[in-house]
Amino acid sequence: MPAKSAVIFLSVLLLAPLLVFLKRPFHIDDPLFIWVARHIQTDPLNPYGFAVNWYGFSMRMSEVTKNPPLASYYIALMAFFVGWSEPALHLVFAAAAIAVAIGTYLISERFCQRPLLATLAALLTPVFFVSSLTVMCDVLMLSFWVFAVYFWMKGVDGSNHRSLLVGALLIAASSLTKYFGMVLVPLLFGYSLFRKRRIGWWSAYLAIPIVILGWYQWITHRLYSRGLLLDAATYATQMKTDLAIFPIAKSYVAFAFTGGCIATVLFFCRQLWSRAVIIGGVLFMLAAALVFANVSSIGSLSLPSDKSMHILLGIQLALWGTAGISLIALAALDLYRQRDSESLFLFTWIIGTFLFAGFINWTMNGRSILPMTIPAGIVIARRLELRASPTADKMLPATVVPLLAGLALSFAVAWADTTFADTARKGAIGIHEYYSAGRTVWFQGHWGFQYYMEQMGGKPADIKEPVATIGDVMAVPTTNTNVFALPSDWPARKVFDVPSTGWITTMNYQLGAGFYADVLGPLPFVIGPVMPERFTVFEIKP
């Protein structure tokens, strides 16, 4: 397919399913980015100069947030034209997802002969679909990332100073959208050094993002008495989950998250590996499933007590863990066989993201895996070129079927995550309508539930300065964060059960799904019997 046609095809292919979810409620950390954006419109030079209750008590936003402000500046700018509604902001971030698709195609052209295949293998994945439906910083960061790679490589190849400058500025933009963008500096330095075999003037351009990040550290220290760049780095490395003390368990969870988030590596397994390797993988998967069926926990994470669900989760852990291992092996094999600057770049991109997500970041989550999708798609395409028949009539069925499977699974996971987000909004609406007069409604929990509860007049509970009146009520969600224990003599006056998907979930500690944080479970999504989401309202007593 010609490049222009491929770009149009990718844009339509991505926009069509994303439009289905335009009315999706704001979810997880979306409110933090929106609140910062609203503040930016009134005080653009002090983005974090306000307080928020996110951990059960009021804190300065500069202490709560662990992301730089560029995504919120983007929201503030676009909201000035399109407003603050869910459809408007989701459409704004759909544009970022399309930019990722275009940038991925452009860099894939230099790495493989089938850039469209590489792009589809990268983007028709659960982690990209779900991340594209948020208004958080991840997909916007990745859009700057892929174009930074494209312009930098173009500049290094042709000694084009203008392209090197654009690439350096895009590295800075990526880093100021999400700090992980800083990884581009050593990543592109290693690629350029290996390709050129010597340090040249190109290396001076990498000082630009370093200087900009140094300025950001300095200016935030002046504003908030703490440099937010190093503050986020400290938080990421020190706030470890208990699972981190179990190296084997942590490693396997990292593989399982990788395989589940980038599921196309599983759907292409027949084309990627020999029959002997596939048989070995199946045997490994069966052995892993047998182990998980006979253990009660993975590290500090307890597996479901229900036997049937325990076995079902064990099978899925074995399946996606095997898929994740195969992706890392695929990247290593590509480096071993090619041994050039491109294969080294792809390998370091994949393994660097894997190590950060699994062992450096405070928790394993799909958002940390997201940057790995791009090199994963390219590595899959490069492997297929070595193994598949070059004729189009034989290549088409071998690629279309796995891609359609990836699309179907990605849509299902995105639908499950959207349904879970909608339970928070419906729960808030139900609580508000039932207690709309006569009582103050306090609530615990955050994420989207806080956003919609506050919209309807609810007040977040503050454990440091409680001011609730006897006779008021306290709403508590079942699946949420920063929820604290209530006195045992407070009676439960009302229970709101909001139906979920019923068969697949992204966040459910009972089933072991923890897309946004592995503290809820060792997989990014789980197929199983999903119970309705419960919101319990307690009456406040002395």
CA-CA distance, 511 to 509, in Å (whole number)? 5
DSSP string, 417-460: HHHHHHHHHHHHHHHHHHT-SSS-EEE---HHHHHHHHHTT-EE
pLDDT, tens digit (0-9, with 9 covering 90-100), for 32-53: 999 999 999 999 999 999 999 9
Residue 514 is classified by DSSP as E
Domain boundaries, the chain: 1-236, 240-388, 417-539
CA-CA distance, 18 to 4, in Å (whole number)? 21
Q: For residue 155, which phi and psi values (nearest 5 degrees)? A: -70, -40
CA-CA distance, 265 to 251, in Å (whole number)? 18
Answer yes or no: are the C-beta atoms of 118 and 124 closer than 8 Å.
Answer: no
Average pLDDT rounded to a whole number, residues 434-459: 88
Average predicted confidence (pLDDT) for the chain:
90
CA-CA distance, 359 to 369, in Å (whole number)? 12
CA-CA distance, 496 to 427, in Å (whole number)? 7
pLDDT, tens digit (0-9, with 9 covering 90-100), for 166-204: 999 999 999 999 999 999 999 999 999 988 888 888 889
CA-CA distance, 258 to 373, in Å (whole number)? 9
So what's the pLDDT on residue 235?
67
Q: For residue 436, which phi and psi values (nearest 5 degrees)? A: -75, -15
How many other β-carbons are positioned within 10 Å of the β-carbon of residue 468? 14
384 or 361, which is more confident?
384
Residue-wise over 253-279: b if at least 16 C-beta within 10 A, else e? bbbbbbbbbbbbbbbbbebbbeeeeee
Helices (H), 124-201: 126-132, 138-158, 161-175, 184-196
So what's the pLDDT on residue 398?
78
Q: Count CA atoms within 13 Å of residue 71 on its CB side.
A: 31
pLDDT, tens digit (0-9, with 9 covering 90-100), for 516-536: 998 888 999 999 999 999 999
So what's the pLDDT on residue 249?
82
So what's the pLDDT on residue 244?
47
Does the pLDDT of residue 241 top 70, yes or no? no
Does the pLDDT of residue 240 top 70, yes or no? no
pLDDT confidence band for 389 (50 / 70 / 90): low
pLDDT, tens digit (0-9, with 9 covering 90-100), for 107-154: 999 999 899 999 999 999 999 999 999 999 999 999 999 999 999 999
